[in-house]
Chains A and B, each alone.
Chain A
Amino acid sequence: MHLRLEARTEPSRLARWLSPLVATFAVLVIGFVLFAAMGKDPWFALYTFFIDPVDTRYDVGELLLKASPLMLCAVGLAAGYRANVWNIGAEGQLVLGAVAGGGVALAFHDSTSPLVLPLMLVAGVAGGMLWAAIPALLRTRFNANEILVSLMLVYVASLVLSLLVHGAWRDPEGFNFPQSKLFSDSALLPNLIPETRLNVGFLIALVVVGVAWLFMRRSLTGYQMRVAGLAPAAANYAGVSAARTVWLGMLIGGACAGLAGVGEVAGPIGQLMPVVSPGYGFAAIIVAFVGRLHPVGIVFASLLMSLLYLGGEAAQMKLALPSSVTGLFQGTLLLFLLAADVFIHYRLRVVRRPAPVAHGA
Chain B
Amino acid sequence: MDTAVQLVLLTLAAGTPLVYAALGELVAEKTGVLNLGVEGMMLVGAVVAFIVAARTGAPWLGAIAGIAAGAALALVFAVVTLTLQANQVASGLALSLFGVGLSAFVGLDYVSVVIEPIKPLHVPVLADLPFVGALLFTWNPLVYLSLALFAAVQWFLFHTRAGLVVRAVGESPESAHAIGYPVVRIRYFAVVFGGACAGLGGAYLSLVYNPSWAEGITAGRGWIALALVVFATWKPSRVVAGAYLFGGVTLAQFQAQALGVEIPSQYLAMLPYLATIVVLALISRDVVSIRLNAPAALGRPFHPDA
Contact = CB atoms under 8 A, between A and B. Distances in A.
Contacts of B100: 282, 327, 331
Contact of B306 (A7, A147, A329): A7
Contacts of B282: 142
Contacts of B91: 335, 338
A147 B36 contact: yes
A285 B97 contact: yes
Interface string A332-343: 101101110110
Given A155-B273, A162-B266, A148 B280 contact: yes
Interface in A287-337: 289, 322, 324-332, 334-335, 337
Nearest to B177: A359
A166 interface: yes
B186 to A, nearest CB: 16
A342 B85 contact: yes
A7 B104 CA distance: 38
A159 interface: yes
Interface residues of A, number: 52
A360 B282 CA distance: 44
Contacts of A329: 101
A144 B270 contact: no
Contacts of A322: 104-105, 108
B273 A152 contact: yes
Contacts of A335: 76, 80, 91, 94-95, 98
A341 B101 contact: no
B86 interface: yes
Contacts of A338: 80, 84, 86-87, 90-91, 94
Interface string B84-120: 1111011101110111111011001000000000000
A145 B231 CA distance: 11
A162 B270 CA distance: 11
B18 interface: no
A151 interface: yes
A143 B284 contact: yes
B226 interface: yes
Nearest to B76: A335
Residue in A162, A286, A332, A339 with the greatest tally of chain B CB atoms within 10 Å: A339
Given A147-B89, A159-B269, A327 B97 contact: yes
A324 B86 contact: no
Given A143-B285, A163-B264, A346-B85, A331 B99 contact: yes
* Interface of A: prevailing SS: helix
B174 to A, nearest CB: 9
B93 A88 contact: yes
Given A148-B223, A166-B266, A334-B97, A327 B281 contact: no
B79 to A, nearest CB: 8
B270 A156 contact: yes
Interface residues of B, number: 54
Contact of A328 (B36, B101, B177): B101
Contacts of A147: 36, 89
Interface in A182-234: none
A360 B230 CA distance: 35
B220 interface: yes
A143 B93 CA distance: 21
A289 B90 contact: yes
Given A7-B306, A144-B284, A151 B223 contact: yes
Interface string B291-306: 0000000000001111
A206 B274 CA distance: 35
A324 B104 contact: yes
B165 to A, nearest CB: 18
B108 A144 contact: no
Contacts of B284: 138, 142-145
A154 to B, nearest CB: 8
A159 B90 CA distance: 27
A159 B270 contact: yes
A167 interface: yes
B220 A138 contact: no
A18 interface: no
B96 to A, nearest CB: 8
Contacts of B95: 331, 335
Contacts of B94: 286, 331, 334-335, 337-338
B277 interface: yes
A151 B36 CA distance: 11
Nearest to A335: B94
A304 B101 CA distance: 17
A237 to B, nearest CB: 20
Residue in B83, B95, B230, B277 with the greatest tally of chain A CB atoms within 10 Å: B277
A325 B105 contact: yes
A147 B280 CA distance: 11
Nearest to B108: A322
A149 interface: yes
Interface string B142-159: 000000000000000000
B266 A159 contact: yes
B277 A285 contact: no
Contacts of A337: 94
B84 A342 contact: yes
Given A86-B89, A328-B104, 19 more contacts: A5-B83, A142-B284, A143-B285, A148-B280, A151-B223, A152-B274, A152-B276, A156-B270, A286-B94, A286-B97, A324-B215, A327-B97, A328-B105, A329-B101, A331-B40, A331-B98, A334-B97, A335-B80, A359-B304
Closest 4 CB pairs of A and B: A331-B98, A327-B101, A324-B104, A334-B94
Interface of B: 36, 40, 76, 79-80, 83-87, 89-91, 93-95, 97-102, 104-105, 108, 177, 215, 219-220, 223-224, 226-227, 230, 264, 266-267, 269-270, 273-274, 276-277, 280-282, 284-285, 287, 290, 303-306
7 contacts: A149-B277, A324-B108, A330-B97, A331-B99, A338-B94, A346-B85, A360-B305
